[in-house]
Amino acid sequence: MSHYHAVVWIDHNEAHVMHISPDDVESSVVRPKKPHQKLHHKRGADKGGAVGAGNTPEDQGFYHEVVEALKGAQEVLVVGPASAKLHLIKHMHGHDKQMADKVIGVESIDHPSDAQLVAYARKYFVAADRMRP
């Protein structure tokens, strides 16, 4: 079945990808190969002696798999609770400009159930469709 819309809820631990049509939803979950870790500075270290900047490097392979899971959608809504959604958008702009052009919105939402996510996305897409000429 052809799905025009897709929504992805993403954090650093997983991405829920939902392809949505009026009467059907296809969902998948993508997880990074390695868990995301937060680095901490050593106590009392000077600016030159800090262990790290606070985060491990972003897992580009994870973002690539999420983009692959979104293939086929003509409009994409990206949502999530923190910065992973922005890292996904940055990855798209650098590695898959065509997919980046399909993103019609980026929204902050916490941890919805899959049913709540689909309902939110359907409402969002209806509103977005109304704003088009």
Cβ neighbors of 50 (< 8 A, separation 6 or more) are 41, 42
Query: CA 8 → CA 3, 53, 107, distances in Å?
Result: 14, 28, 10
- CA nearest 66: which of 124, 10, 133? 10
- The predicted structure's pLDDT at residue 125: 94
- The predicted structure's pLDDT at residue 53: 52
- Quick: pLDDT tens for 8-65: 999 999 999 999 998 899 999 999 987 655 544 455 544 554 455 555 667 899 999 9
Q: From the options 3.40.190.10, 3.40.50.300, 3.40.50.1100, 3.30.420.60, give the CATH code of 5-131.
A: 3.30.420.60
Q: Give the whole-angstrom CA distance, residue 117 versus residue 94.
A: 27
Listed by start position, the domains of the chain span 5-131
- Quick: pLDDT tens for 100-120: 999 999 999 999 999 999 999
> pTM, whole model, 2 decimals?
0.82
The size of the chain, in residues, is 133
